[in-house]
Amino acid sequence: MHGTICMVGLGTMGRPMARRLGSAGCDVTGWDSDAEAREGLALASLEETALGAGTVITMLPDGGSVASVVESLLEQRQDRIFLDCSSIDVATTRRLAGMAAAAGCGFVDAPVSGGPEGARDGTLSFMVGGSHDHVARVRLLLDIMGKRIIHFGKSGSGQAAKACHNMICGITMLGVCEAFALAESLDLDAQKFLELCRGAAAQSWILDNRCPVPGLVPEAPATHGYAPGFSARLMAKDLSLAQEAASTSGQTTPFGDEAARRFARFAASGHGDLDISAIYRAIRSG
């Protein structure tokens, strides 16, 4: 039905997503600007790699990168569908969807939540925007890669939902870090405090998967030197997108604005490639 699928962006999310599709029997090729990342999956160029692909999935760091890929491949064949799983701005998404339609192609925005763990296990959540027909065409692929697929409406609405979702994640991460820093300053046992929060109203995905205190959760990035599941640099970008959306819509989001400033400052101080939970160290030091 989909023919060959080309995954563009083979980083911490794109590569396990491609593997998930491959393990389900899909014919998958891949491309990345990093030659080492694309080894064994790609031909000499993006255009050659994507030539036979009926579906092109993008998992890239910003709107400019996604636009470059779509613009490079748009005239290659008609009836191709672009499935963008990156987190980018709504305006760029809608512009690319319009360009795709004019070229006889489809475009679906489907940013994700769930981190590398979800990409590996096929348990991602997809926030989807696009026409019903185009979403129906990629639904099988989304079902292979994720467990929760929510279609919010027209093009750009998936990105709008992701901006709102990640604003909650950024604010929550700061709250968890501040609470654990305060608990430490009050000489509370961190493991017992985690057990309390997990069984009470403070429970959250962030708490369970991004607990910021090293050693408390074996799988958490904090226990592994804050190696990123989701980097502070990307969180700063997503929070900036949320503030851009808030400004455009006329909505005031003071907590989101503060979270955006905090993560931007943390990333700019040389910690952008660490996990978001590493901001705990900056909060502890004051």
For the annotated catalytic residues, the residue numbers are: 162
Residue 100 has φ and ψ, to the nearest 5°, of -60, -45
Find out whether 84 and 135 touch, Cβ atoms under 8 Å: no
Residue 218 has φ and ψ, to the nearest 5°, of -55, -35
Residue 206, token pair as written in the block: 């962030």
